[in-house]
Amino acid sequence: MADKQKVAFLGLGVMGFPMAGHLANAGHDVTVYNRTAARAQAWVEKYRGSRAETPAAAAKGAAIVFSCVGNDDDVRSIVYGDNGALAGMSRGSIYVDHTTASAEVAREVAAAAQKRQVEFLDAPVSGGQAGAENGKLTVMVGGGQGPFDRAKPVIDSYARACVLMGAVGSGQLAKMVNQICIAGLLQGLSEGLNFAVKAGLDTTKLVEVISKGAAQSWQMDNRAHTMVEGKFTFGFAVDWMRKDLGICLAEAKRNKARLPATALIDQFYAQVQARGGNRWDTSSLIHLLAKD
């Protein structure tokens, strides 16, 4: 059980809103900030806590500042400047960024934080909106052992697993691996299910039996039936997946890793976007096969 602390949470999207809520429910003194003030007010009305007009104001006096925003530039917009989080943070406090962003921006922000004697952890999450709402996220962390040990009991408010992967940037690199694996898995599941439909198999029986063997996956257990039904409103959007895969492909250019399947599947997602599926969930790859 974590000691009750004064914390801030910046970014109240579909992930940040419930994550900050778990912190409040755990008894922490939470101040929130969101670019759209009405969203922050809605959070205050639902949970115990307060809201601030700027990231700096939210961060003032906080032992730990959390953020979960959209991309690298969004991170920079809430961290830097007179109204940025670092301007309001105290020496020895910790900044924990849950945004799925590049390892490059993680290292950049860590260096800026260090100049102000603030610790930094990059801590992207996996588990989607449902995981955030249920407090069952997986958190991959990059940074020092000391700040990790201090932050983990608080992060555990909304995590079922929280693991220090290595130095700053390692959390983001681990999240890239996560997204690479999911992309390949979903393409394989899409092809298999589409094959089953074309072959006239009973997909309910099929999934029941193959999910008991080596083909089993979270995606199969949770998305197979909705994929066959052509329903794609169950989680992580294609627009966000393309953002993440872009980060993976850019990092692969730097570290010389070959990602041939990932690059191809990224283009498949581009085709889904062209069909108007920007907000469909990532299992919508099957739409390209079923509606060829």
**Which residues have a catalytic role annotated?**
175
Pinpoint the alpha helices (H) of 80-141.
85-88, 103-115, 128-134
Pinpoint the alpha helices (H) of 156-259.
170-198, 203-210, 218-229, 238-255
* Strand-pair partners of 32: 9, 51
Cα→Cα distances 29→51, 102, 136, 159, 263, Å: 11, 30, 21, 18, 44
Nearest partner of 192 among 162, 169, 214, judged by Cα: 214
Count the Cβ atoms, other than its own, within 10 Å of residue 116.
13
CA distance 238 to 255: 25
Count the Cβ atoms, other than its own, within 10 Å of residue 263.
14
CA distance 283 to 269: 10
**Structure-block tokens of residue 219:** 């995606």
